Structure 1
Amino acid sequence: MTVMANAAHKAGRRLLRDFAEVEQLQVSVKGPSDFVSQADMRAEQTLKEELAKARPGYAFLMEESGASGSENWTWRWVVDPLDGTTNFLHGMPHWAISIGLERRLADGTVEVHAGLVYAPAVDEMFWAEKGTGAFMNERRLRVSARREIHEAVFATGIPFAAASAARRNAFSRTLAALMPQVAGIRRFGAASLDLAWVAHGRFDGYWELSIKPWDICAGLILVKEAGGYATDVEQGDPLETGNVVAANPHLHAKLREVAAEGMSRAGA
């Protein structure tokens, strides 16, 4: 965790400088509504250098540069250097660095061993290691205790232009089913922080479809170590399917049921 925290703090300081001068950043478009800036690239390079220096044998899966290192890795960093790029580029302080650490076991299965989500603009660092609990800075985290769905506030991500019609329809059906039942639904634009906030108890749950592993790897272990559930919408692994439902133990089954129904009816 010290290695991860040091790397995140170093990258975070540079991101804060870029955030203060965001109007001067060069920005390119990867796809519809999908941006990458100089800030993303510089942060990713800093994280890769710091993590590789501390753990030279570990492989990488990074948002901008992809996979690197040995294909037969035992340990792998899964990194999003700037989750919430659109927020960042619009001067909104809701963005984060996400670092997950995967371990390949002797039987070939892969587990998330540790995760860190750092929000530099508010200096909140969420972190967890398997079997040791989840924390924000030095505070121990627990998911919310709400049992009734009409009291719940859920987070999600709204599909943008590049999403398939099936995915857009699945989201619309799930949203339509949930809205009359819940206290509120939020879309803040940074999946890693959505999961961290579920672990914190700020959100009671979160769902999203077709999301990348670097967006959720760290957040999944945060939720689990805070006493919540973080699963695929159906029976798979969310890191492979990109479909995730996370919530406290009382509300997870209901949220997962509604999301799965939305996918089924939309043919997603």
Structure 2
Amino acid sequence: MNDSLDNGYKLGGKSFTVVAINTAATAGEWIKSKLGTFSNLDYKYSPHDLVTEVDKGAETLIRNLISTHFPQHSFLGEEGVEPGPDASAQALADLSDSEYLWIVDPIDGTTNYVHGFPFFVVSIALAYKGEVIVGVIYDPSRDELFVAEKGKGAYVKGKRMSVSAENKLIDSLVGSGFPADRNYALPINLTGIQALAPKVRNIRVAGSAALHLAYVAAGRLSGFWEIGLNSWDMAAGSLLIQEAGGKVTDTEGKPYSLGVRNVMATNGNIHQELQEELGLCGGTGF
């Protein structure tokens, strides 16, 4: 961990960033230890949107660890919200007046986790008056910790991250997803994938939006977009990318906020070209 992050945002002498790091690492190791042992597999929004008792246990663990340090802070976790986009939007709206709000996805990539496909992460963000100030994504399979603090850069394994340098889509490796909402978000996203596939170097769909965002920040992807995501999918990753020199907006190019659902994140250089191509094919979701 880079020392420049150790003296950041604090409350009562406790560093928000250090608590987020320790919590993500503890939850990630616990999740990894349970790999292949879960017994209850349920559907959430659709048969493509899964949840296990490990998701729920990890969220309880994270909530308890954070509340031990910051009992007055608000908490928004995926497993505490009813399935579906309307419930997600309402849950965020209900907490919109919170001074400090922790936004957590205990396992982003549950379907991967269920199948033993090692692309799943813990995502923890802290927003202050609606603006993300700390973002941590932990990949237990590779023991990679991605950390950003507002104004202090973004780091992976203690090394400063920087977005990639590609200037054109045709030279870019980009990420996207297959949304769980099969009726609305998926067809729009597939439209974008079909239109963009011939215009980029290639497209990757690894099944974890948070990990894709971390990879944009680390320069491993030039960009990422997806329709119908939630705040807990994006909050930590959005800060990672911004602090690594990249750009995050909605798919129309409007500034990122916690309420964004259709997201576009890039190294900045290809942002306009990606947005234009999504607009031309009807892939923005707007």
Output the CA distance in 1 between the equivalents of 2:235 and 2:159.
21
Output the CA distance in 2 between the equivalents of 1:261 and 1:236.
20
What secondary structure, in the 3-state scheme, does the structure 1 residue paired with 2:79 have?
Answer: coil
Q: Does 1:188 align with 2:206?
A: yes
Output the CA distance in 2 between the equivalents of 1:36 and 1:146.
37
How many angstroms does 1:176 deviate by?
Answer: 2.2
What secondary structure, in the 3-state scheme, does the structure 1 residue paired with 2:43 have?
Answer: strand
RMSD across aligned positions (CA): 2.0
Structure 2 vs 1, CA of residues 224 and 237 (structure 1 numbering), >3 Å: closer, same or farther?
closer
1:1-150 matches, cutoff 5 A: 1-19=17-35, 22-32=36-46, 33-66=48-81, 72-104=97-129, 110-150=130-170
Please give the per-residue CA displacement for 1:10-44, whole angstroms capped at 9, x wherever unaligned.
Answer: 1112111111xx15431111132111101101100
Output the CA distance in 2 between the equivalents of 1:253 and 1:180.
17
Equivalent residue in structure 2 for 1:200, among 190, 196, 218: 218
Quote the residue 1:107 is aligned against.
none
Please give the per-residue CA displacement for 1:182-223, whole angstroms capped at 9, x wherever unaligned.
Answer: 110010000000000000000000000110110000000000
Quote the residue 2:262 is aligned against.
243
TM-score by length of 1: 0.90
Q: Aligned pairs, how many? A: 258
Structure 2 vs 1, CA of residues 24 and 173 (structure 1 numbering), >3 Å: closer, same or farther?
closer
How many angstroms does 1:236 deviate by?
Answer: 5.8
What secondary structure, in the 3-state scheme, does the structure 2 residue paired with 1:242 have?
Answer: coil
Output the CA distance in 1 between the equivalents of 2:38 and 2:244.
39
Please give the per-residue CA displacement for 1:202-252, whole angstroms capped at 9, x wherever unaligned.
Answer: 000000011011000000000000000011111364531301101112111
Please give the per-residue CA displacement for 1:105-163, whole angstroms capped at 9, x wherever unaligned.
Answer: xxxxx211110000011100001011000000201000000112211100001134x33
How many angstroms does 1:76 deviate by?
Answer: 0.4
Structure 2 vs 1, CA of residues 267 and 248 (structure 1 numbering), >3 Å: closer, same or farther?
closer
Quote the residue 1:229 is aligned against.
247
- The answer for unaligned runs of 5 or more in structure 2 is 1-16, 82-90
Residue range with higher mean Cα deviation, 215-224 or 70-79: 70-79
TM-score by length of 2: 0.85
Output the CA distance in 1 between the equivalents of 2:18 and 2:78.
22
Does the 8 A contact of 1:174 with 1:261 survive in 2? Answer: no
> Identity of paired residues, percent?
35
- The answer for unaligned runs of 5 or more in structure 1 is 105-109
Output the CA distance in 2 between the equivalents of 1:229 and 1:254.
13
Structure 2 vs 1, CA of residues 253 and 71 (structure 1 numbering), >3 Å: closer, same or farther?
closer
What secondary structure, in the 3-state scheme, does the structure 2 residue paired with 1:180 have?
Answer: helix
Output the CA distance in 2 between the equivalents of 1:7 and 1:15.
12
